[in-house]
Structure 1
Amino acid sequence: MADIPKDAPEHCPGTDSGSAGKASACQGCPNQTICSSAKPQGPDPAIGEIKNRLASVKHKIIVLSGKGGVGKSTFTAHLAHGLAADESKQIGVLDVDICGPSIPRILGLEGEQVHQSSSGWSPVYVTDNLAVMSVGFLLSGPDDAVIWRGPKKNGMIKQFLRDVDWGEIDYLVIDTPPGTSDEHISTTQYLSQTNVDGAVLLTTPQEVALQDVRKEITFCRKVNLPIIGVVENMSGFVCPKCTTESVIFPPTTGGGEKMAADSNIPFLGKLPLDPRIGKCCDEGKNYFEEVQESPATLAFKSIIDKIKDYCMKRREQIETDTGEENR
């Protein structure tokens, strides 16, 4: 009989088992590394499986920051809405913020559930051309907490990337939590063979946010993740009535634009604060439809156009490089 560690979880396969450290019961176990290291480990076969699964996804965009509270999920949702405004395009949103899944609420999908079919998990649809997957759909209620160790979170991300049946889609936008840790490493590693277009880095003007975003830039460069550009969110407050703009967070060290210039990466633009954005997110409404001509709407659309242009040029370059390799 296989030896069972005394502090092992229920249903532990035992140290002599071929699934030691690999079974679902092993996720989050403090002995998982020890058990799994008993035999040599090769490349995770899931990387190849994810490559095949996402072969039908033309563009993959990761939204990063490093800093919490800068509006990554809000930006992700608005980027998706902006891309989906072209009804000829199919858009997907993947929420890998495992412990703070706010995408379902922002996109008006709170309370929806995921369904499984023979081809995998079916995403939840906002509109006919905007699909979403989030751990929020797997919880029994919005107040449920996800209390998982890193390995179990990583396993969830792997499952999302490998098992969700997106079908043929033009853009997959991936929302991430703050930091440069487990979820970020797992996401970039699992997507390493899928020709990710790159990352959009979000910041706010103050230095305390810029410090963390600089760390995210370093992370992207270390894992060879292309950077599409920097967006400065909450760069000023625009009054909904008179459209007068006021500075709320003074850019004491030059803000996102200077940071982008210093780091030699593109600056995509500034997004002003508008209280109606928060209201629409709380109510699960599309801000672009509710407030069509606001300064924030125009700023969002300008940034989205730059991201689309970048993705188009990158795809053309990849196709050119592939063609030359095949000659």
Structure 2
Amino acid sequence: MILEERVRAALAAVIDPELRRPITELGMVESIVVGANGVVEVGVLLTIQGCPLRETITADVEHSVGALDGVGAVEVQLGVMNEQQRNALKNLLRGGAGQRGNPFTTEDSLTRVYAVASGKGGVGKSSVTVNLATAMAAEGLRVGIVDADVYGFSVPALMGITQAPTRVDEMILPPVAFGVKVISIGMFVKTNQPVAWRGPMLHRALEQFLTDVYFGDLDALFLDLPPGTGDIAISVAQLLPHSELLVVTTPQSAAADVAERAGAMAVQTGQRVVGVVENMSWLELPDGERLELFGAGGGQILAERLTHTLGTSVPLLGSVPVDVALRQGGDAGTPLVLSNSTSPAAEELRSIARGLARRPRGLDGRKLPVSVR
């Protein structure tokens, strides 16, 4: 009995790769049988038949239990949850709510939602999104990404994600890469199939990403928006009214002019613009000289214009230099902030991420779980 208790305690350290919670807490440990010569048989219930991460779970159980004194061998017997057990799991994950809903609009949600916008394509918005998210996750924060650029989805490739999300009935479990939970329409289409949808379909897809996908309790959620001020930008403002805009531009004045429209949209939607990120600011030459390929000052000019238009301070959060390693990391599916930590671009992106992470969470208008006795 003592060994069985120690085995159960060891299993509490085994984290489900998708749900990011202990398998003992999720009701996945069906049985523990201690046999002769220290042979331990562990019955584990998978959420669905053919779980893509069954080998990972098996290996983690074997490693955790096998490290205990007195354990001679570990045998993992895999089963599948029945409907009642899956319903109990979904109810647990939803905090007892029992039904679908948008968790980021509830009164008790403290998740910072950043909608990363740009006026035009090609300014590196997706690369900035991925690197900010992974930089935050590397600091121990719980982070998610919604690839809301339905027509031009690129986040799965930038994160090196090739697996499809796992479905538990109507609940979708997003793949996790570098500690970040990610969902994208690119995970549901074959190869490089184009998505040709009108506005209502785009709105419904985004709504399902927010209601059907289980992200858990996040510190920050990033939405990689398509460029411009179209349907998705409007839907984000409707579905996530407390989301904040993060505007990405290049130093070029033409790009800053177009990006101003994306930021100024906050006047109509009631969103807040948290700041401006200037990407591709300069290229550092071997002799240390800076070559400003796309001009200079566009990010600061945009921040000043938005400050004037919105009547509130919109800072320039940082200027990210051109870096070949940033492109190489994207092609390889490994964000620059993790693959080349000493790069000037990586250092600037981490600095921006730390600044966003340190922003206080306002409690004004929120209900606190406090009662008077």
Shorter-chain TM-score category? Answer: 0.7 to 0.9
AA aligned to 1:102 is S
* Secondary structure of 1:209's aligned partner: helix
Residue 144 of structure 2 corresponds to residue 92 of structure 1? yes
AA aligned to 2:283 is F
How far, CA to CA, are the matches of 1:243 and 1:63 in structure 2? 31
CA contact (8 A) 1:56 1:167 kept: no
CA contact (8 A) 2:264 2:306 kept: no
* Secondary structure of 1:78's aligned partner: helix
The aligned length equals 264
Q: Identify the residue that residue 255 of structure 1 maps to in structure 2.
A: 298
The runs of at least 4 aligned residues of structure 1 exceeding 3 Å deviation read 51-57, 241-244, 320-324
What is the Cα deviation at residue 243 of structure 1?
4.8
How far, CA to CA, are the matches of 2:337 and 2:284 in structure 1? 16
CA contact (8 A) 2:104 2:240 kept: no
Residue 343 of structure 2 corresponds to residue 298 of structure 1? no
Q: Identify the residue that residue 14 of structure 2 maps to in structure 1.
A: none
Name which of 237, 240, 262 aligns with 1:191: 240
CA contact (8 A) 1:53 1:162 kept: no
**Structure 1-normalised TM-score?**
0.75
Q: Identify the residue that residue 252 of structure 2 maps to in structure 1.
A: 206
CA contact (8 A) 2:135 2:353 kept: yes
For structure 2, list consecutive stretches of 5 or more residues without a partner in the other structure: 1-99, 308-313
For structure 1, list consecutive stretches of 5 or more residues without a partner in the other structure: 1-47
Name which of 208, 226, 229 aligns with 2:272: 226
Q: Identify the residue that residue 134 of structure 1 maps to in structure 2.
A: 184
Q: Provide, for residues 119-168 of structure 1, a one-character-per-residue CA deviation record: whole Å limited to 9, x for no partner.
A: 611101113x3110000100111x21111112111111111111111112
What is the Cα deviation at residue 242 of structure 1?
5.1
* Secondary structure of 1:49's aligned partner: coil
Question: Structure 1's 120 and 214: CA in aligned 2 closer, same or farther, altered over 3 A?
Answer: same
What is the Cα deviation at residue 269 of structure 1?
1.3
**Structure 2-normalised TM-score?**
0.66
How far, CA to CA, are the matches of 1:275 and 1:172 in structure 2? 27
Residue 122 of structure 2 corresponds to residue 69 of structure 1? yes
How far, CA to CA, are the matches of 1:62 and 1:296 in structure 2? 21
Whose RCO is larger (CA < 8 A, sep 6+)? 1
* Counterparts of residues 51-130 of structure 1 (less than 5 Å): 51=103, 58-87=111-140, 89-109=141-161, 111-118=162-169, 120-127=171-178, 129-130=179-180
What is the Cα deviation at residue 283 of structure 1?
0.7
What is the Cα deviation at residue 75 of structure 1?
0.4
How far, CA to CA, are the matches of 1:284 and 1:52 in structure 2? 28
Name which of 130, 149, 154 aligns with 2:198: 149
How far, CA to CA, are the matches of 1:49 and 1:134 in structure 2? 19
CA contact (8 A) 1:51 1:191 kept: no
What is the Cα deviation at residue 244 of structure 1?
3.8
Name which of 38, 41, 50 aligns with 2:102: 50
Q: Provide, for residues 154-206 of structure 1, a one-character-per-residue CA deviation record: whole Å limited to 9, x for no partner.
A: 111111111111112211111110010101101110112xx33x111000011
How far, CA to CA, are the matches of 1:177 and 1:52 in structure 2? 21
AA aligned to 1:78 is N
* Counterparts of residues 229-244 of structure 1 (less than 5 Å): 229-239=275-285, 243-244=288-289
CA contact (8 A) 2:147 2:185 kept: yes
CA contact (8 A) 2:105 2:240 kept: no
What is the Cα deviation at residue 301 of structure 1?
1.6
Q: Identify the residue that residue 180 of structure 1 maps to in structure 2.
A: 229
* Counterparts of residues 21-36 of structure 1 (less than 5 Å): none
What is the Cα deviation at residue 79 of structure 1?
0.5
CA contact (8 A) 1:114 1:122 kept: yes
Query: Which protein has the larger Cα radius of gyration, Structure 1 or Structure 2?
Result: 2
* Secondary structure of 1:187's aligned partner: helix
How far, CA to CA, are the matches of 2:201 and 2:112 in structure 1? 27
Q: Provide, for residues 199-226 of structure 1, a one-character-per-residue CA deviation record: whole Å limited to 9, x for no partner.
A: 1100001121111111112211210111
How far, CA to CA, are the matches of 1:305 and 1:52 in structure 2? 22
* Secondary structure of 2:330's aligned partner: helix
Percent identical residues: 30
How far, CA to CA, are the matches of 2:206 and 2:315 in structure 1? 29
How far, CA to CA, are the matches of 1:153 and 1:52 in structure 2? 19
Q: CA RMSD in A?
A: 2.2
How far, CA to CA, are the matches of 1:180 and 1:245 in structure 2? 33
